Structure 1
Amino acid sequence: MLHLANRAARLFLIACALAVAACTPSGDEAAEPRTEFNIGWSIYAGWMPWPYAEQSGIVKKWADKYGLEINFVQVNDYVESVNQYTAGKLDGVTVANMDALTIPAAGGKDTSAIILGDYSNGNDAVLLKDASKTSAIKGRDVYLVELSVSHYLLARALETNGLAMTDVKTMNTSDADIAGAFSSPEITAAVAWNPQVTTMKGVPGTTAVFTSADIPGEILDLLVVDTATLKANPNLGKALAGIWYETMTLMAKQDAEGAAARAAMAKLAGTTSEAFEGQLATTYLYTDPAAAVAAMGSPDLVTTMTRVRDFSFAQGLFGQGARSADAVGMEFPGGKTLGDEGNITLRFDPTFMQLAAEGAL
């Protein structure tokens, strides 16, 4: 798998995406009506409903309703899944809010977030060995997926505890490798997300000193789709919303049927039912579409994305040509915008969640 090993590689990807965008027709001209689509996903508690829905026949049910074929494609390395979407190999992908902004959107790929699935409420964590306070991180090498939500969580942890990024040294590590690396005695600090966090917390002497529960609502998990593809194929959005909320209803059941669905998701994630239930306990799932619509329309989302984009710009994630944090434009429900209104490439679109809330799918 290709992995963004460092800042230069990530900026190279952005430069390539900009070059592709410059040669690609904009708006509706960039996509035509189609019947087959590929959606990428990687292992994470909040995203396991998608492969389960495919396995259980829920995907086929909704795809058939709209005369579509929807394929869910597993990519073992999370960042690579976003890379493949950015490169046009996937029509949509499961992605965190920061990474949607800094990879496809910053690269000029007009992207619409159509499902607000959850926010991490403890699934992402700063882990230290032989320490119980975040302040003990000072001077340590911190292993993490650089320039990802883990990097953002580290920055927020340091900021909250009166420290700066210069107080630590980050060591880039793939999410596929980080749990194994953390078992080495010489590695004493890391930032990761579940299911890796669950494994890493089992290393003797390890404490989660700061988690996403300390910044609720800031690390959001989304399903995003190429905007032009969505405009040309609105039934794709309807089918995806139908799939998601039918699966949410099922997995939220506190009975044998719900337990069986969650157990199947655990198996797909390569973990035990007990461990998966623990991960769900630190994931705030928007099982009710009306609640997701309200969250997407809240001023809190604009505040969160302001903080995220400011961090991203400070880390150079908008590319060398970006002169300010306003370089990448975002659009929110109700016509609200943030950043360059002439360069809106990330859109929070509640249209299909609203249809689900109204029972109109």
Structure 2
Amino acid sequence: MRSRPLTRLLTAALCAVGMLGVAGLSACTEAPASTSTKVTLGFSAWPGWFPWQVAQEQGLFAKNGVEVELKYFDSYTDSLNALSTGAIDANSQTLNDTLASVSGGAKQTIVLVNDNSTGNDKIIAREGVTSVADLKGKKVAVEQGAVDHYLLLLALKEANLTEKDIQLVPMLTDAAAAAFVGGQVDAVAAFAPFTTTALTRPGSRAIATSAEFPGAIPDHLVVKADLVKDRPQVVQGLVNTWFATQKWIKDNKDAAIGIMAKRGAVTPDDYKSYDAGTTIFTRQQNLDAFTPGTTPQHLNHQARLIVDFITGTGLAKEKPSLDSLFNDQFVKAVPE
């Protein structure tokens, strides 16, 4: 059993014999764990996270015992920073971006796998650029340090290239897609729904996608580590809501697509085209992913690969600790 710090032991002993006096009485009373059900949840433009909008509009958070301020970020990077600085309690983000945050000292815990990207992250190039190898010397726009920068580096490595072989143009993802359409760059690495924008450029095509790197981009519900410790009932409510939302979407598909397409600022038909590129995880797929293993479906294995990659390429300076990063207790507690 882990022992309590000496100062806490001494305080407990003095409280027991009444030696702290009036000024020390507050030290004799343990602060009760918070029972507040209010939480701020961040999300941004990704098909695997738009179900949170459905949850809000259908009152599913309240039905699962949590009061949620759902905060939409136009910039994915801003959502990462908000969780890292404690401005929000939970966020929707990828494994590699979570690892990058943890390597910088953030205390975060992954409690749910929303989905795997199976094609909705793409490297899209102009006419005449038909492969990743053709990117050598070309201008490529990408949100530096975020998920599609990681995809770009993976694709370059597979083509025996490095970032030094291209002209990297760092931009937020929405601006990067717009710059590509405007002819300012030769290629863009982006995620849906911004891929829809990028592909409006005549002659453009995807030359690599996340489907070619199975398991490399899992998307998660990530919470502040203190939230797990201090208000586990809130975390459970969020996880329960996620699975309740998936059931509602299954039973009300057209209505759900309408809600999610509106949030993504795309047409329902465009949104339907994202289905194959985002694989929403079931409860069992969650449990399988959280189970330690040595294949791409196992989060611990994928995390080790990502850590080696992001440190080796300079996306992170320090190797983050994987201790307590993954917590499957809430998925396990979801009613089957």
Tell me whether the two structures share a fold, i.e. TM-score over 0.5. Answer: yes
Instruction: Report the Cα offset of residue 172 of structure 1.
Output: 0.5
After superposition, give the CA deviation of every residue in 1:126-179 in whole Å (9 maximum; x if it has no partner). 111122222111111110001111111111111112222221121101123122
Aligned partner of residue 70 in structure 2, secondary structure: strand
Query: Counterpart of 2:283?
Result: 289
Query: Counterpart of 1:129?
Result: 126
Tell me the amino acid that sits aligned with residue 194 of structure 2.
Answer: Q
Q: Return the alpha-carbon distance in structure 2 between the equivalents of residues 121 and 142 of structure 1.
A: 22
Tell me the amino acid that sits aligned with residue 125 of structure 1.
Answer: K
Query: Counterpart of 2:24?
Result: none
Query: Counterpart of 1:85?
Result: 83
Q: For residues 88-167 of structure 1, what are the structure 2 equivalents within 5 Å?
A: 88-103=86-101, 105-130=102-127, 131-167=129-165
Aligned partner of residue 266 in structure 2, secondary structure: coil
Q: Return the alpha-carbon distance in structure 2 between the equivalents of residues 267 and 91 of structure 1.
A: 25
TM-score by length of 2: 0.85
What are structure 1's unaligned runs of at least 5 residues? 1-27, 332-343
Q: For residues 8-23 of structure 1, what are the structure 2 equivalents within 5 Å?
A: none
Q: Check whether the contact 2:97–2:147 (CA below 8 A) recurs between aligned residues.
A: yes
Query: Counterpart of 1:279?
Result: 274
Larger Rg: 2
Aligned partner of residue 136 in structure 1, secondary structure: helix
Q: Return the alpha-carbon distance in structure 2 between the equivalents of residues 268 and 275 of structure 1.
A: 12
Q: Return the alpha-carbon distance in structure 2 between the equivalents of residues 153 and 280 of structure 1.
A: 20
After superposition, give the CA deviation of every residue in 1:95-142 in whole Å (9 maximum; x if it has no partner). 011111112x12222211111010100011111112222211111111
After superposition, give the CA deviation of every residue in 1:241-294 in whole Å (9 maximum; x if it has no partner). 1110011122234xxx222112211112211111111112210111x2122111
Query: Counterpart of 1:170?
Result: 168
Aligned partner of residue 239 in structure 1, secondary structure: helix
More displaced 10-residue stretch of structure 1: 176-185 or 204-213: 176-185
Q: Check whether the contact 1:141–1:168 (CA below 8 A) recurs between aligned residues.
A: yes
Instruction: Report the Cα offset of residue 33 of structure 1.
Output: 4.4
Equivalent residue in structure 2 for 1:304, among 302, 305, 322: 302
Q: Check whether the contact 2:292–2:301 (CA below 8 A) recurs between aligned residues.
A: no
Query: Counterpart of 1:337?
Result: none
Equivalent residue in structure 2 for 1:353, among 308, 319, 331: 331
Query: Counterpart of 2:60?
Result: 58
Q: For residues 174-323 of structure 1, what are the structure 2 equivalents within 5 Å?
A: 174-253=172-251, 257-286=252-281, 288-299=282-293, 300=295, 301-319=299-317, 322=318
Instruction: Report the Cα offset of residue 316 of structure 1.
Output: 3.2
After superposition, give the CA deviation of every residue in 1:69-105 in whole Å (9 maximum; x if it has no partner). 22111111110011011111100000011111112x1
Tell me the amino acid that sits aligned with residue 268 of structure 2.
Answer: S
After superposition, give the CA deviation of every residue in 1:199-233 in whole Å (9 maximum; x if it has no partner). 21121111101000000111011010111122111
TM-score by length of 1: 0.79
Aligned partner of residue 46 in structure 1, secondary structure: coil
Q: Return the alpha-carbon distance in structure 1 between the equivalents of residues 257 and 240 of structure 2.
A: 19
Q: What percentage of residue pairs aligned between the two structures are identical?
A: 27
What are structure 2's unaligned runs of at least 5 residues? 1-29
Q: Return the alpha-carbon distance in structure 2 between the equivalents of residues 265 and 164 of structure 1.
A: 36
Q: Return the alpha-carbon distance in structure 2 between the equivalents of residues 316 and 132 of structure 1.
A: 28
Structure 1 vs Structure 2 CA RMSD: 1.8
Aligned partner of residue 48 in structure 2, secondary structure: helix
